[in-house]
Amino acid sequence: MFTTACFLLWSGFGLAQKPVDAPPDIKFGKLTPDQFINRSADSTAEAVVLYEAGDVSFKVNVDASWIIFSHYIRILIRRKSAYGRATVQLPVRRGVGTLNEKMDELEGYTYNLVDGHVLTDQLDIKSAHFTEKATESYWIEKFTMPNVREGSIIDYKYTLRTPYNIDRNPRTWRFQRDIPVDWSQYRIVLPGNSYKLLLSGSLKLTIDEAKAVKISLIPGQRQSDAEEHFCAIKNVPAFQHESYTSNEDDYISKIDFEPPNYLNNVANVEFAYSWEGIDKRLQTNIDFSDRLTPSNWLRKQAERLFPSQGDMLSRAILVYNFVRHTMTWNQEFSIWGLDAKQLLTSKKGDTGDINLFLIALLRAANIEAYPVILSTRLHGSIVEEHALFRKFNCVIALVQLDGKEILLDATDPYIKPGMLPFHCLNGVGRLINPPNSRFVSLVPTERLSEVTTGQFTLNESGELMGTMSNSYGGYGAWINYKLVASAGQANYVEAIHKVHNDWQVEDVKFTDTNQSEESFGVNYKLIISDACTKAGDRLYFKPMLTEAYQENPFKESFRRYPIDFTTPIDQAFTATYVLPNDFQVEALPKPVSIALPGNSGRFLYQVSIDTNQLRVNSRFILRKPIYNPNEYPALRELFIQIVAKHKESVVLKQRISEKK
C-alpha cells in the first residue's frame, strides 16, 4: 500500500502503550558540541531537523475560547542551499472584530561550533521580527535567525493562539518534511470526547500514548475531563518528490483533526462525523441552503432571461452561459455563497458565490440542479469512508436531464458543459440532496487530445519547407482556446516561437476558434532550416521534428504514490516528407507497438517509405487519468520506448551519379 490512514474517535481509550524509544533529552537553549555531529542516513540532505515538538491545549477566557499551539524546532544547516530555512514565515489569520490569531513568546538562538566551543547568537526580536500584511484575511509573522552559516544549528520556538471565531481545529502536524527529521513529537490535550483524529501516511508511530487527565479549561472553575495524546516518530526520512503527483500532502505522514459541529461555542448533540451530519450542517447554514432556493425576484429574472420555449438542455446551457459570461471568478475557493442580488451587483465572487447562484438560477428556470461539494487537487483527496467536513473547499453544479447528469462549473468562461477545470478533477465529490445525498465521480470523460499533421519537402541541404497543423480536442481544445481568448492570437504565436525557436513561421491561421466547436486548430506554414544533420554524403533526419518526447519523466525504478496525469491523453503525429531526388533511404527506425496491461495505454510508431515519400506515424494513448504504483513499471517502460523511438533518425544517403 502506498499510504495508510487511521481514524480514531477521542472516546476514552486510555491504555497507554509502552514506549519503544524514549524522547531525546533536548532542551531549548541548551546545546553541547556533540550535537553538531549528525549521523543522519541521508548524507545528501542540505539540512536535518534534529528535534521538533508541538504541544496543543485549549483555554476558555472571558472573551473567547482559544487553541494554544506551542512549537519548538532545532535544525542543523549543512549547506548554503539551506540558508533560506533560517527565515521563517508564519501565516496568521485575521478575524472579525478584535479577536485575531496571534503569535507570541518567540525566542531563538543560532549555535556555531568554533575551535571546539559553542558560540551562541540570540534572535533579536526587535530587529529581526516583522509582521507583514498579506491579504485582508492573512498576515505574516516573519523572522530571520542570526549568523547562520554551514554547520550552524538554529533553535527557535513560539506560541500560536487561535480564537474559536477563526478556527476550532488544531493545525495539521506533519511528522515528515522535505529534509530528514531525527525526532518529531506531538502532544495534544483534548477536552471531553470531542475531536476526531486522522493519522495518515506510510510511517509507523514510534510512540503512541493516550491517557485520561484533568484540565482547568475555564479559570476559577473545577477541572474537566480530558484526554492527553502523545505520539512521536524517530528517523523520519525526507519526503521524496515524484513527478505527476496531484497533492504530495496526501501522502506525507501527519496528524489532522476534525472538530465537532458547534453553534455559538456550545457543542451540539450530533457531531459532523457522518455524511448525514454534514448534510444537516449544510442545511442549517443560510450561506449554503438559502443560496440554493430561488426567490420570487430571481424566478422573474429567469422568466425574462430564459424563455420557456426550447428543450431543457438548451435552456440549461443558456443559464450556464449567462452565469459564466456575467460573473468573474476571483480565483478563490469556497462552498458558501452571497445573496443573489448582491452577487449580480458585484458580478464577482468565489466558487461558492458563482456556482450556488448558478444552481439557484437553474432551479428558477425549472431545471433540476444540485450542489456537489468537493476538494480541489491542491487541497487534498476525499476519503469516502470517513466524513471530514473540512476537506471540502469548493462547490460545483450537477444538472439532471432525461436521466443524464451534467457537471457544470461557471467560474470558467471557456470550458464547455460537462467538463470541469483541472483543479476540480480530484476523485469524487459529494452531491448534497438529503436524504439522497451521494458521491459522484469527478473522473473526466474527455481526453486531452492533440493531432498533429505535416506535409513537408526536404531539400539537399537538410532544410524543411511545408505546413503543419495542430488540431486539439477535449481538454486540449479548452487549454488552447483559453490561451488565445485571454492572451490574443499574436501572443499565442509569439509563445509558439519561444518554444520552437528553430521554426521560421511564414503564416499562421486559426480554425475552429468558436467556443461552441468541439476542437481548436492552428495551421502553420513554416521553414525549419536545420532539420537534418549532414555528415559527408548522408543526412540524419529525426522525423518527429519538434514534437518528440525528449525526456522520460519517470527515471526512478520504484514508485511510491499514484501517477496522476489529470486527464486521459491521446496524442497523434503524422507527417509526410518528400525527399530530395538524389537521396535514398539507407536506414529506417523499426516499428514498435506496445500496450499497457488491460489495454490502459498504448504506443504505436512506424516510419515507412513509398518511392521518394517518407511517412511517420506516432500514436500515444493513456486511457486512464490515474495509474496505481503497481502499474508503474509497465508505464515507465512505455515512456522509455517513446523517448527512444522519437530520438531515432532516418539515414538518407546521397545517390552516386552515373557517368555517361
Give residue 388's pLDDT. 83
Give residue 381's pLDDT. 92
Q: How far apart are CA 305 and CA 299, in angstroms?
A: 10
Which amino acid, residue 270?
Answer: E
Q: Which three-class secondary structure state does DSSP give residue 117?
A: strand
Q: Which helix (H) or strand (E) holds 353?
A: helix 351-364
Cα–Cα nearest to 363, from 329, 417, 323, 332: 323
Right CATH for 448-654 from 1.25.40.10, 3.90.1170.50, 2.60.120.1130, 2.40.10.340: 2.60.120.1130
If pLDDT is split at 50, 70 and 90, which confidence band does 287 have? very high
Give residue 1's pLDDT. 34
Q: How far apart are CA 566 and CA 426, in angstroms?
A: 8
More confident residue, 656 or 217: 656
Percentage of the chain modeled with pLDDT above 70: 92
Give residue 516's pLDDT. 58
pTM: 0.86
In contact, 396 and 409? CB cutoff 8 Å = yes
If pLDDT is split at 50, 70 and 90, which confidence band does 3 have? very low
The CB-side HSE value for 623 (13 A sphere, CA atoms) comes to 9
Residue spans of alpha helices (H) in 199-295 = 275-283, 291-292
**Sheet containing strand 404-408, strands side by side:** 404-408, 394-401, 369-374, 428-431, 438-441
Q: How far apart are CA 28 and CA 26, in angstroms?
A: 7
Strand ranges (E), 136-294: 138-144, 153-163, 173-174, 181-191, 196-201, 207-215, 224-236, 254-258, 262-263, 266-267
The CB-side HSE value for 584 (13 A sphere, CA atoms) comes to 5
In contact, 288 and 336? CB cutoff 8 Å = yes
Give the max Cα distance, the chain.
Answer: 117
Give residue 218's pLDDT. 67
Taking 60 as the threshold, does the pLDDT of residue 214 lie above it? yes
If pLDDT is split at 50, 70 and 90, which confidence band does 112 have? very high
Q: Which three-class secondary structure state does DSSP give residue 83?
A: helix
Class level of CATH domain 4-267:
mainly beta
Q: Which three-class secondary structure state does DSSP give residue 134?
A: coil
Give residue 63's pLDDT. 73
C-alpha distances in Å from residue 441, one per residue of 165, 405, 407, 426, 614: 34, 11, 10, 9, 45
pLDDT tens for residues 517-573? 678 999 999 999 888 888 888 899 999 998 999 999 999 999 999 999 999 999 999
If pLDDT is split at 50, 70 and 90, which confidence band does 259 have? low
Q: How far apart are CA 606 and CA 619, in angstroms?
A: 9
Q: Helix 296-305 crosses helix 351-364 at what angle (to 10 degrees)? A: 80
In contact, 521 and 489? CB cutoff 8 Å = no
Q: How far apart are CA 431 and CA 397, in angstroms?
A: 9
Residue with cell string 420555449 = 309
CATH 3.10.620.30 region(s) of the chain?
Answer: 275-441
Strand ranges (E), 259-313: 262-263, 266-267
Give residue 433's pLDDT. 95
pLDDT tens for residues 570-615? 999 999 999 998 899 999 999 999 999 999 999 999 999 998 899 9
Q: How far apart are CA 439 and CA 426, in angstroms?
A: 12
Residue with cell string 431545471 = 367
Mean pLDDT of 617-638: 97
If pLDDT is split at 50, 70 and 90, which confidence band does 65 have? confident
Length of the chain: 660
CATH 2.60.40.3140 region(s) of the chain?
Answer: 4-267
Taking 50 as the threshold, does the pLDDT of residue 384 lie above it? yes
Mean pLDDT of 421-426: 97
Task: Name the CA dihedral angle for 457, 462, 463, 465, rounded to a multiple of 10 degrees.
Answer: 10
> Which is it for strands 601-610 and 4-9: parallel, antiparallel or unpaired?
unpaired
Q: Which three-class secondary structure state does DSSP give residue 78?
A: coil
DSSP state of 557: S
Taking 90 as the threshold, does the pLDDT of residue 15 lie above it? no
**Sheet containing strand 138-144, strands side by side:** 87-93, 138-144, 129-133
Which amino acid, residue 139?
Answer: W
C-beta neighbour count of 141 within 10 angstroms: 20
Mean pLDDT of 131-148: 91
**637 CB-contact burial (10 Å; exposed 0-12 / middle 13-18 / buried 19+):** middle
Taking 50 as the threshold, does the pLDDT of residue 18 lie above it? no
Residue with cell string 465537532 = 260
Paired residues of 505 in beta bridges:
526
Paired residues of 334 in beta bridges:
none
C-alpha distances in Å from residue 526, one per residue of 288, 321, 501, 579: 54, 37, 12, 17
If pLDDT is split at 50, 70 and 90, which confidence band does 193 have? low
Degrees to nearest 5, angle at CA 346 with 342 and 348: 110
Paired residues of 71 in beta bridges:
54, 158
If pLDDT is split at 50, 70 and 90, which confidence band does 326 have? very high
Q: Helix 312-326 crosses helix 351-364 at what angle (to 10 degrees)? A: 150
- Please state which of the ranges 350-354, 558-562, 652-656 shows the lowest mean pLDDT: 652-656
Q: How far apart are CA 77 and CA 99, in angstroms?
A: 37
If pLDDT is split at 50, 70 and 90, which confidence band does 281 have? confident
pLDDT tens for residues 300-319? 988 888 877 678 898 999 99
How much of the chain is in helix, strand and coil states, percent to nearest 5?
A: 20, 40, 40
Q: How far apart are CA 447 and CA 567, in angstroms?
A: 6
Residue with cell string 525528449 = 550
pLDDT tens for residues 490-526? 999 888 888 888 888 889 999 876 665 678 999 999 9
Give residue 14's pLDDT. 36
> Which is it for strands 404-408 and 394-401: parallel, antiparallel or unpaired?
antiparallel
Q: Could you write out the DSSP letters of every residue in 498-551?
A: HH-TTEEEEEEEEES-STTSSEEEEEEEEEETTSEEEETTEEEE-TTGGGS--S
Handedness of CA 249, 254, 260, 265 (dihedral sign): negative
C-beta neighbour count of 239 within 10 angstroms: 21
My answer on whether omega of the bond before 435 falls inside 30° of 0, hence cis, is yes
Give residue 517's pLDDT. 62
Cα–Cα nearest to 335, from 287, 286, 400, 298: 287
Taking 70 as the threshold, does the pLDDT of residue 267 lie above it? no
Cell for 635? Answer: 508505464
Taking 50 as the threshold, does the pLDDT of residue 363 lie above it? yes
More confident residue, 14 or 359: 359
Class level of CATH domain 275-441:
alpha beta
